[in-house]
Amino acid sequence: METVITIENLSKSFGATEAVKDMSFSVRKGEIFGIIGPNGAGKTTTLEMLEGILKPDSGNVDVLGLVPSKSLRALNKRIGVQFQATSIQKKMKVKEALDLFESFYTSTSQKDHLIEILGLHEKMNAQFGDLSGGWKQRVTLALATLHKPEIVFLDEPSMGLDPNARREMWEMIKMLKDDGCTIVITTHYMEEAEKLCDRVAMIYSGKLRALDTPEGLLNDSNAQYLSFDSADLEYDYLLTVPHVIRVEQDGHSFKVFSENQQTSAYHIFAYCHEKNIALKHFAFEKGSLDDLFVQYLEKEKIG
């Protein structure tokens, strides 16, 4: 499969803060590639090195065969970067913003196509500052993709959007993919990564922790847990069960994360049998990317 981005051993520090440490991965043509992680994980720093805005301290970046920090002009003709809504003048009309950005590019613009697929007709005469968060994102998405870029970079595109607007944004990103665009997106919404991305790089403290399809990540036993209800089992006991890493309790409901669920389940059953404790709705659950993420963080704390 054709690769459009490759980074190797990439590192970037700001003073004493190591924002990105020895990061390596590649992005395939035509995929939606998610970079996920909590606040301060290094997502934006990674993205900005791919966009050529930041120069890495060490390591290699190849985007469409170019070194971004050295070939910014050539690269900017072929990539699209979504601006923050705050960088567009509030009084500017949507139509004016589209015309202005269109004038930056000499190549053919796909303005009419974007107006169509993003449904911008009805807002063409609205001032940018009067638009809702969802509409602002549609407009900035259009501005980033006017020149039909081969890759588009989206930094937290659904931040602050309500769940409905977020889902609409996903549909629009999928339309860009259907048009043949490769999309690199950062997010800290795990559900977004799960539903939207073809592959996901999970980062924390500047390091790549896992990289796979959402399905592949969820097959990782770290995301899986035992779930059951019990009125008599104690949280503190569950933490002592062999292989258990973390326990979540909500009233009488428990989620028990373990490195070896089979063995942990065996110990819990044996204990309950011995003490005559009732267990209800016992199940081996698959978990979510959120669960996987918290699990990695817990393991890190334990060392």
Binding site for ligand ATP (CB under 6 A): 14, 17, 19, 37, 39-45, 188
Nearer to ligand ATP by Cβ, of 14 and 269: the residue is 14
Residue 121, classified by CB atoms within 10 Å of its CB into exposed (0-12), middle (13-18) or buried (19+), is exposed
CB of 138 to ligand ATP, least distance (A): 22
CB of 30 to ligand ATP, least distance (A): 25
- Total residue length of the chain: 303
Nearer to ligand ATP by Cβ, of 45 and 145: the residue is 45
**Edge-to-edge order in the sheet of strand 17-28:** 17-28, 3-14, 58-63
- For residue 106 the two structure tokens come to 């000499």
Q: Look up residue 151 and give its amino acid.
A: I
Nearer to ligand ATP by Cβ, of 41 and 292: the residue is 41
- For residue 203 the two structure tokens come to 């980062």
CB of 8 to ligand ATP, least distance (A): 19
CA atoms within 13 A on the CB side of 166: 16
Say which residue the tokens 């998610």 belong to: 34
Nearer to ligand ATP by Cβ, of 42 and 80: the residue is 42
Residue 150, classified by CB atoms within 10 Å of its CB into exposed (0-12), middle (13-18) or buried (19+), is middle
Contacts of 62 (CB under 8 A, 6+ apart): 5, 6, 7
Dihedral sign from CA coordinates of 162, 164, 167, 172: negative
**DSSP run (H or E) holding 47:** helix 43-51
Nearest C-alpha neighbor of 82 from the set 6, 138, 25, 163: 138
CA atoms within 13 A on the CB side of 104: 16
Nearer to ligand ATP by Cβ, of 49 and 143: the residue is 49
- For residue 88 the two structure tokens come to 């567009």
CB of 275 to ligand ATP, least distance (A): 45
Nearer to ligand ATP by Cβ, of 26 and 44: the residue is 44
Other C-beta atoms lying within 10 Å of the C-beta of residue 28 = 14
Which phi and psi angles does 119 have, rounded to 5°?
A: 65, 40
CB of 40 to ligand ATP, least distance (A): 4
Nearer to ligand ATP by Cβ, of 155 and 194: the residue is 155
Nearer to ligand ATP by Cβ, of 45 and 158: the residue is 45
- Give Cα 30 to chain centroid, integer Å: 17
CB of 160 to ligand ATP, least distance (A): 13
